[in-house]
Amino acid sequence: MVIKTENLTKEFGKIKAVNELNLEVEEGEIFGLLGPNGAGKTTLISMLCTMLKPTSGRAWVNGFDVVKEPEKVRKSIGIVFQQASVDDLLTGRENLELHNLLFGVPKAIRRQRIDEVLSIVNLEKRADDFVNTYSGGMRRRLELARGIMHHPKILFLDEPTLGLDPQTREHIWEYIKELAIKECMTIMLTTHYMEEAEQLCDQVAIIDYGKIVVLDSPDTLKKNVAGDIVKIKQKIPDIEKIRRLEYVIKAEEKDGTLYISIKDASKHLQDLLSKTGPIDFVEVRRGSLSDVFLHYTGRDIREGEAEGGFWERMMKR
Amino acid sequence: MSELEGIYAVWLREAKIYIREKERLISAVISPLLWIFGFGAGVGTTVDSVSGYPYQMFIYPGIMVMTVLFTSLFYGIYIIWDRKLDFLKEVLVAPISRASVFSGKMLGGATDAMVQVIYLIIIGLFFLKVPFTPLIIIEAFLMLLLISIAMVSIGLVIGANLTSPEGFSLVINFVMWPMFFFSGALFPVSNLSPWLAAVTKINPMTYGVDAMRGIILGINHYSLLLDTAVLMVFTAMMIGIGIISFRRM
């Protein structure tokens, strides 16, 4: 167990941002935290990174208590923030050199380690240019490189691809996957992009109102919760009859269209269509993590919570 | 060892940024020139001499202190920008103590101020014919370093407790101008009205100006020992408050 929390709670005034949360993350996993804005994922990460003190409960990162041994925790983790925190007026290499000093990387391996991480994120050629000449994607890559510099056991990524174009996003995913394998790291990331979670994560936890609503692998979640989704248009639908079918997970009507989630469409679609009677239109698609997400968190837009990374939250404390 | 490297890293970053931001270097050069050659020369035409020195020469130690005071206090604003632009996060999550982060920043600010001091010494030496000897230069440098450390600490304390640069400017003006005006930088403190004398007595800058004037021109109101002692106690206090502010940040 690389990360473990026990009834971890953080209150901001009356609001319980994280509410008696229990979590265990295995070594080597890429673990995704999903949740609507203000669900508490940011606060949770801040506490695990020792940036925020829990109101109650306990948490261990790499076996160290986050309250009692914060410096040891900090040495075992790397963090990539939501907003770029690399220094504009320094070169890429200088940023990494500073990190080496700050995180106490042994002198003998510093230079070699910088070259190593630069090559992982393909920034060797631009390493000696000032960061203010970098594109958004390059800054992200530099931050990734910096985050893994001191061989952390656990890497925290707060919205690693926010605000990047789709091409860059795919590249960053590749880098993250590579990191997990090459550096044998456990990675915990928060994201709003379901596609990102599907692509990267071994396990995802959906968090809402400070609690974990569900925790499983994306595949299992999709299979059990979302299933396959059959979209049907029909003159006189009989929802009740459809709902009674044992392979139907969920059925609901919206704007004259019937949305039916069923287990394993390849097996049951024919039977379903034979039971529904004549139809005007049918479309089948695989359930996605988005469907799972909306199933657990509902469709209401959340208000009263500021967007932003855990830093912003900390500053407003 | 790692704490020392942490302090070095924070300082190194500050020093590199300072050299690369040309605007900062240029403004550092211009403002003391205006005071010495604009203000000093102008008032000098109406005031014959003070304590046997031409007015321009008399205020020279005061202008040195002033330059250090302004640069050092205003340095605190960078902590607010750093935070706004997120440069500080990386440092705050590093496994080094906040005391080290504070020390690195403080030394960074003192470096800014001391670059200006070197520049001022060159002006004094070649344009004002200030009677410098190597020993005087070393003493003056160390005294100004002490003042700078105290003032950078005040700036950082204010910076660490505020979130907007505008607010910082406002607060710092209430600190900076009284400290400067009631320090005797522009006039001798010996013949003041009782209330003004009382204000200058509680102003730590008075002792800084007095020490500098003693070192460079040989005019002392208090003893150099008292000046140094007052400044050291004050500096220690400010560093303490600074570290506490950084811990809470």
Q: Which domain holds residue A268?
A: 228-286
pLDDT tens-digit series, residues B15-45: 998 888 888 878 878 877 887 788 777 777 7
The predicted model gives B67-92 an average pLDDT of 86
Using CA atoms, how far apart are residues B153 and B107, in angstroms rounded to an integer? 10
Per-residue pLDDT for A309 more than 60? no
Interfacial B residues in 76-105 facing A (CB < 8 Å) = 83, 85-97
Q: How far is A14 from chain B (nearest CA, A)?
A: 22
Within 10 Å of residue B225's Cβ, how many Cβ atoms? Answer: 9
Per-residue pLDDT for A282 more than 80? yes
Per-residue pLDDT for B177 more than 50? yes
- CATH number for the domain that contains residue A207: 3.40.50.300
Break chain B into its structural domains and give their ranges.
2-248
Q: Residue A265 to residues A96, A272, A287: CA-CA distances in angstroms?
A: 51, 9, 10
Q: What are phi and psi of B85, to 5 degrees?
A: -90, 5
Q: Residue B170 to residues A185, B167, B178: CA-CA distances in angstroms?
A: 47, 5, 13
Among A89, A90, A101, select the one facing B8 at the smallest CB separation. A101
**Are A267 and A140 within one domain?**
no
Which residues of chain A lie closer than 8 angstroms to B1, CB-CB? 104
pLDDT tens-digit series, residues A144-170: 899 888 889 999 998 888 878 888 888
Using CA atoms, how far apart are residues A198 and A291, in angstroms rounded to an integer? 12
Q: What is the pLDDT of residue A302?
A: 62
- For chain A, the farthest-separated pair of C-alpha atoms sits apart, in whole angstroms, at 76
The predicted model gives A45-52 an average pLDDT of 89
**Are A165 and A134 within one domain?**
yes
Q: How far is B5 from chain A (nearest CA, A)?
A: 6
pLDDT tens-digit series, residues A37-48: 878 888 899 899
Among B98, B129, B21, B109, which Cα is nearest to B68's? B109
A159 beta partners: none
Percent of all residues in chain A with a pLDDT value above 70, rounded to a whole number: 94
Note the helical H segments in chain A. 41-48, 70-76, 92-102, 107-120, 136-148, 166-182, 194-200, 218-221, 239-244, 265-276, 289-297, 310-316
**Are A54 and A193 within one domain?**
yes
Interfacial A residues in 20-49 facing B (CB < 8 Å) = 49
Among B6, B85, B163, select the one facing A102 at the smallest CB separation. B6
Using CA atoms, how far apart are residues A221 and A232, in angstroms rounded to an integer? 23
For chain A, the 3-state helix, strand and coil shares in percent, each to the nearest 5, are 40, 30, 30
Q: What is the pLDDT of residue B1?
A: 59
Which residues of chain B lie closer than 8 angstroms to A85, CB-CB? 86-90
User: Which residue in this structure is represented by tokens 């700050």?
Assistant: A102
Instruction: pLDDT band for B236, please (50, 70, 90 cuts).
Output: very high
Which residues of chain A lie closer than 8 angstroms to B5, CB-CB? 101-102, 104
Q: What is the pLDDT of residue B45?
A: 77
Instruction: pLDDT band for A73, please (50, 70, 90 cuts).
Output: very high
Query: Nearest residue on chain A to B11, judged by CA atoms?
Result: A98
Please judge whether B95 and A71 are an interchain contact, meaning their C-beta atoms are less than 8 angstroms apart.
Answer: yes
ipTM confidence score: 0.83
Q: How does the average pLDDT of chain A come out, rounded? A: 85
Among A231, A218, A299, which Cα is nearest to A262's? A231
Q: How far is B9 from chain A (nearest CA, A)?
A: 6
**Are A98 and A245 within one domain?**
no
Using CA atoms, how far apart are residues A239 and A46, in angstroms rounded to an integer? 45
The predicted model gives A102-120 an average pLDDT of 90
- Burial code (b: 16+ CB inside 10 Å, e: under 16) for B171-181 equals bbeebbeebbb
**Are A163 and A312 within one domain?**
yes
Please judge whether A51 and B20 are an interchain contact, meaning their C-beta atoms are less than 8 angstroms apart.
Answer: no
Q: How far is A163 from chain B (nearest CA, A)?
A: 17
Within 10 Å of residue B59's Cβ, how many Cβ atoms? Answer: 27
Instruction: pLDDT band for B215, please (50, 70, 90 cuts).
Output: very high
**Are A136 and A273 within one domain?**
no
Q: Residue A126 to residues A123, A139, A174, A267: CA-CA distances in angstroms?
A: 5, 11, 20, 53
Q: Does A99 touch chain B (CB under 8 A)?
A: yes
Q: How far is A285 from chain B (nearest CA, A)?
A: 43
Q: Range with the lowest mean pLDDT among A165-174, A244-253, A296-305, B38-47? A: A296-305
Q: How far is A187 from chain B (nearest CA, A)?
A: 17
**Are A113 and A144 within one domain?**
yes
Structure tokens at B210: 């007095």
Structure tokens at B109: 């600010």
Which residues of chain B lie closer than 8 angstroms to A108, CB-CB? none
B134: exposed, middle or buried (Cβ count in 10 Å: 0-12, 13-18, 19+): exposed
Q: What is the pLDDT of residue B90?
A: 83
Per-residue pLDDT for A215 more than 80? yes
Q: What is the pLDDT of residue A204?
A: 92
Per-residue pLDDT for B173 more than 80? yes
Q: What is the pLDDT of residue A306?
A: 47
Q: Range with the lowest mean pLDDT among B43-52, B91-100, B213-222? A: B43-52
**Are A43 and A94 within one domain?**
yes
Please judge whether A104 and B163 are an interchain contact, meaning their C-beta atoms are less than 8 angstroms apart.
Answer: no
Is residue A294 a contact partner of residue A194, using CB atoms and an 8 Å limit? no
Is residue B87 a contact partner of residue A96, using CB atoms and an 8 Å limit? no
Query: Nearest residue on chain B to A102, judged by CA atoms?
Result: B6
Instruction: pLDDT band for A305, please (50, 70, 90 cuts).
Output: very low
**Are A164 and A267 within one domain?**
no
Instruction: Provide the CA B248 distance to its chain's centre, in angstroms.
Output: 25
Query: Nearest residue on chain B to A69, judged by CA atoms?
Result: B95
The predicted model gives B89-116 an average pLDDT of 91
Per-residue pLDDT for A313 more than 60? no
The predicted model gives B50-74 an average pLDDT of 86
Q: Does A171 touch chain B (CB under 8 A)?
A: no
pLDDT tens-digit series, residues B111-128: 999 998 998 898 888 888
Q: What are phi and psi of A153, to 5 degrees?
A: -75, -30
Q: What is the pLDDT of residue A32?
A: 93
Q: How many domains does chain A have?
A: 2
Q: What is the pLDDT of residue B10?
A: 92
Q: Residue B9 to residues A235, B107, B139, B149, B160: CA-CA distances in angstroms?
A: 72, 11, 28, 18, 19
Query: Nearest residue on chain B to A143, judged by CA atoms?
Result: B90
Q: What is the pLDDT of residue A54?
A: 92
SS3 state of residue B127: helix
Q: What are phi and psi of B130, to 5 degrees?
A: -65, 135
Which residues of chain A lie closer than 8 angstroms to B23, CB-CB? none
What are the counts of helices (DSSP H) followed by strands (DSSP E) for chain A? 12, 14
Query: Nearest residue on chain B to A46, judged by CA atoms?
Result: B93
The helix or strand, by DSSP H or E, that contains position A8, with its residue range, turns out to be strand A3-12
**Are A175 and A237 within one domain?**
no
Instruction: pLDDT band for A301, please (50, 70, 90 cuts).
Output: low
The predicted model gives A5-10 an average pLDDT of 92
Determine the straight-line distance between the first and last CA of chain B, rounded to whole angstroms: 24
Q: How does the average pLDDT of chain B come out, rounded? A: 88
Q: Is residue A298 in a domain?
A: no
Q: Does A85 touch chain B (CB under 8 A)?
A: yes
- CATH number for the domain that contains residue A260: 3.30.70
Residues 6 or more apart whose CB falls under 8 angstroms from that of A106 comprise none
Query: Nearest residue on chain A to B249, judged by CA atoms?
Result: A315
Please judge whether A102 and B5 are an interchain contact, meaning their C-beta atoms are less than 8 angstroms apart.
Answer: yes
Please judge whether B9 and A101 are an interchain contact, meaning their C-beta atoms are less than 8 angstroms apart.
Answer: yes
Q: Is residue A296 in a domain?
A: no
Note the helical H segments in B21-85. 22-33, 41-44, 55-75, 77-84
Among B89, B91, B97, select the one facing A311 at the smallest CB separation. B89
Q: What is the pLDDT of residue B44?
A: 74
**Are A118 and A237 within one domain?**
no
pTM score over 0.90: no
Q: How far is A70 from chain B (nearest CA, A)?
A: 8
